[in-house]
Amino acid sequence: MVKFTASEIRDIIISMLAISFAFALLLSRSTGFNINVIITLMPITLIVVGFGFVFHELSHKFVAIRYGYWAEYKMWIQGLFLALITPLFGFIFAAPGAVYIHGEYISKEENGKISVSGSITNIIFASFFLLILIALPNNGYITILAFYGVFINGFLAFFNQLPFFGLDGSKVIKWNPFVWILVVIVSLGFTAIGYFPDLLSLIL
Q: How far apart are CA 204 and CA 107, in angstroms?
A: 43
Whether 142 and 136 have beta carbons less than 8 Å apart is answered as: yes
109 noted as active-site residue: no
Q: Is residue 155 within 8 Å of residue 57, measured between CB atoms?
A: no
**Catalytic residue (one of 8, 57, 104, 109):** 57
Other beta carbons less than 10 A from residue 74's beta carbon: 14
* Amino acid occupying residue 129: F
Integer Cα distance of 69 and 57 in angstroms = 15
CA distance 115 to 144: 30
Q: What is the 3-state secondary structure (H, E, C) of 90-128?
A: CCCCCCCEEEEEECCCCCHHHHHHHHHHHHHHHHHHHHH
Instruction: Let me know if 67 is exposed, middle or buried by CB neighbors in 10 A (0-12, 13-18, 19+).
Output: middle
Cα–Cα distance for residue pair 24/44, rounded to 1 Å? 8
Q: Which residues are catalytic?
A: 57
